[in-house]
Amino acid sequence: MISTDTDILSLAEAWTRAGRGVALATVVETWGSAPRPVGSHLVIDGDGNFQGSVSGGCVEGAVVEEAAEVIGDGKARMLEFGVADDAAWKVGLSCGGRIRVYVEKVN
């Protein structure tokens, strides 16, 4: 059972050592009632497999999509999700909170 954020970091290391393209997403800031605390991780591989969570399911799909870009060009990105950002992002947090997620490649 992969449950804690520290397990996710071990998994990120294992996936990278296995030769998979890997991105690590981290919640770096939250406002309002965000579902997952700052420091929560999601690890994503080049095939779109992922473990962990940054929002409890609301925005993982968008993070996984963006992670493919990060794995492709190696450039880290800052993503922001929330009800105030519906114009920028098609997905939002139903709880009304806002989060910023940092996505970086592991290599």
Partner 1 sequence: MDLAILAALNAERAARRPAILVTAMEGGAQRLVKSGEFAADPLADLLDRQLRSGKSALVETGGASYFLTVQAPHPRIVVTGAVHISQAMAPMARLLDLDLVIIDPRTAFATPERFPDVTLLTEWPDAALAGLGLDGYTALVALTHDPKIDDPGLEAALRSECFYVGALGSRKTHGRRVERLAAAGFDEAAIARIHAPIGLDIGAVSPAEIALSILGEIVATLRGPRRPPA
Looking at the Cβ atoms of 17 and 90, the one nearer to partner 1 is 17
User: From CA 29, how far away is CA 38, in angstroms rounded?
Assistant: 6
β-partners of residue 51 are 43
β-partners of residue 42 are 25, 52
Tell me how far, at minimum, the Cβ of 7 lies from partner 1, in Å.
Answer: 10
39 contacts partner 1 (rule: CB under 8 A)? yes
Q: Are 102 and 26 in contact (CB under 8 A)?
A: yes
24 contacts partner 1 (rule: CB under 8 A)? yes
29 contacts partner 1 (rule: CB under 8 A)? yes
Stretch that binds partner 1, among 37-45, 47-55, 60-68, 87-95 (CB under 8 A): 37-45
CB atoms within 10 A of CB 57: 11
Q: In what order do the strands lie in the sheet with 41-45?
A: 50-52, 41-45, 22-31, 98-106, 77-82
Stretch that binds partner 1, among 3-11, 44-52, 61-69, 87-95 (CB under 8 A): 3-11
Catalog residues that contact partner 1 under the rule CB under 8 A.
Answer: 6, 9-10, 12-13, 16-17, 24, 26, 28-29, 37-39, 76, 78, 102, 104-107
